[in-house]
């Protein structure tokens, strides 16, 4: 039987780690229809109709059949097996990125929850560390979309068939950028960190001089997320240059490589400044 263990986080900061054979655990719902658990989107009504469901097969639990059914290509049959494999490689890496972005959003929601008053801020650091690790994993996957694993000539075989679809349209990526304060709005996670610092009666400069403080660890975990994001954004830009070219437009009509270069902005510039590192805004 399948064994599963996971942290189920609520807005009150409580995390439970159930462990039982053959059962998928549903997140307990607090009273009130507008409360949200870690990773749930505000404004989306909670589904209270579902109950714990036994799972006897791995493929059923992870939805393998449904995921693999999405592995269709737009290339014509005449393109040949090798060209179709190229397109599947491109598509599956982007599918994996969407799943990773969903987990990044879940962990960042949890980090915000654990920075609220009367919660364990050490758990916020845990979720931020995992966020950084997931973004690093996304970068490693992204680098499989450059030579020698993927080339401009092979991409050209099907690239025009993708338009006007574009990664720039990813809703999950836009939400991640919002969380990082890169969409022209204040970063929710950084705002909650500032609130936590104030709630502990201290300041960021003092926190950064206090290695024993849990908030010190959170501050450096935030910088870890920012560093991972910067590295991923740089790799994305380099891939565009290598596989699409400097001057070509993106499939959605963006400026291509220049569009990506213009979005390479460091999250949390105030925190970088506090440690003496100047970052662009």
178, 203, 213, 212: which is closest to 271 by C-alpha?
203
Question: Does residue 208 share a domain with residue 168?
Answer: yes
| Tens-digit pLDDT string for the chain (281 aa) | 333 233 333 333 333 333 333 333 333 333 333 344 565 554 445 555 666 667 778 898 999 999 999 888 888 777 889 999 999 999 999 999 999 999 999 999 999 999 999 889 999 999 999 999 999 999 999 999 999 999 999 998 998 888 777 777 889 999 999 999 998 889 999 999 999 999 999 999 999 999 999 999 999 999 999 999 999 999 888 888 888 876 565 554 555 667 677 677 889 999 999 998 877 54
Residue 120 and residue 20 share a domain: no
Same domain, 253 and 153: yes
DSSP-derived letter for residue 54 is E
Is 59 found in the same domain as 196? no
- 199 with 260, same domain: the answer is yes
Q: Which of 162, 145, 165 is nearest to 236 (CA)?
A: 145
Three-class DSSP category at 195: helix
Q: Sign of torsion, CA 186 192 195 200?
A: negative
User: Is 95 a domain residue?
Assistant: yes
CATH number for position 261 = 1.20.58.480
**Number of structural domains in the chain:** 2
Alpha-carbon distance 191 to 181, whole Å? Answer: 10
Task: Let me know whether 42 and 77 are in one domain.
Answer: no
Assess whether 145 and 77 both reside in one domain: yes
185 and 267, same domain (yes or no): yes
Question: Which residues are 20's β-sheet partners?
Answer: 4
User: pTM for this one?
Assistant: 0.78
On whether residue 240 sits in a domain, the answer given is: yes
Do 81 and 32 fall within a single domain? no
Residue 14 is assigned to a structural domain of this protein: yes
Instruction: Compute the distance between CA of residue 42 and CA of residue 102 in angstroms, rounded to an integer.
Output: 15
List the structure tokens of 62.
Answer: 């992870």
* Final residue before a domain boundary, out of 65, 84, 110: 65
Q: 41: exposed, middle or buried (C-beta count within 10 Å: 0-12, 13-18, 19+)?
A: exposed
* Residue 279 forms part of a structural domain: no
Contact 150, 85 (CB under 8 A): no
User: Which of 22, 43, 65 is at the close of a domain?
Assistant: 65
Give the pLDDT score at 203.
96
Segment holding 8, helix H or strand E: strand 8-9
Structural domain range at position 264: 70-274
Domain-located, residue 280: no
């Amino acid at each position: 039987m399948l064994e599963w263990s996971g942290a189920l986080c609520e807005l009150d900061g409580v995390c439970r780690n159930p462990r039982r054979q053959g059962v998928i655990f549903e997140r307990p719902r607090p009273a009130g229809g507008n409360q949200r658990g870690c990773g749930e989107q505000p404004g989306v009504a909670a589904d209270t109709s579902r109950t714990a469901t036994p799972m006897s097969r791995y493929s059923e639990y992870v939805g393998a059949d449904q995921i693999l059914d999405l592995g269709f290509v737009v290339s014509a049959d005449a393109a040949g097996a090798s060209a179709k494999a190229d397109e599947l490689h491109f598509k599956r890496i982007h599918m994996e990125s969407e799943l990773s972005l969903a987990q990044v959003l879940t962990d960042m929601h949890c980090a915000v929850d654990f920075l609220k008053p009367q919660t364990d801020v050490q758990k916020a650091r845990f979720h931020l560390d995992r966020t950084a690790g997931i973004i690093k994993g996304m970068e490693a996957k992204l680098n499989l979309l450059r030579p020698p694993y993927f080339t401009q000539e092979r991409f050209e075989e099907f690239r025009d068939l993708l338009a006007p679809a574009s990664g720039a349209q990813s809703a999950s990526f836009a939400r991640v950028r919002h969380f990082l304060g890169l969409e022209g709005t204040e970063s929710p996670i950084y705002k909650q960190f500032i609130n936590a610092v104030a709630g502990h009666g201290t300041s960021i400069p003092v926190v950064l001089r206090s290695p024993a403080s849990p908030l010190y660890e959170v501050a450096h975990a935030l910088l870890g997320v920012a560093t991972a994001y910067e590295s991923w954004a740089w790799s994305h830009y380099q891939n565009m240059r290598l596989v699409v070219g400097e001057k070509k437009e993106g499939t959605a009509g963006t400026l291509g490589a220049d569009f990506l270069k213009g979005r390479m902005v460091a999250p949390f510039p105030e925190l970088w400044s506090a440690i003496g590192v100047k970052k662009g805004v």
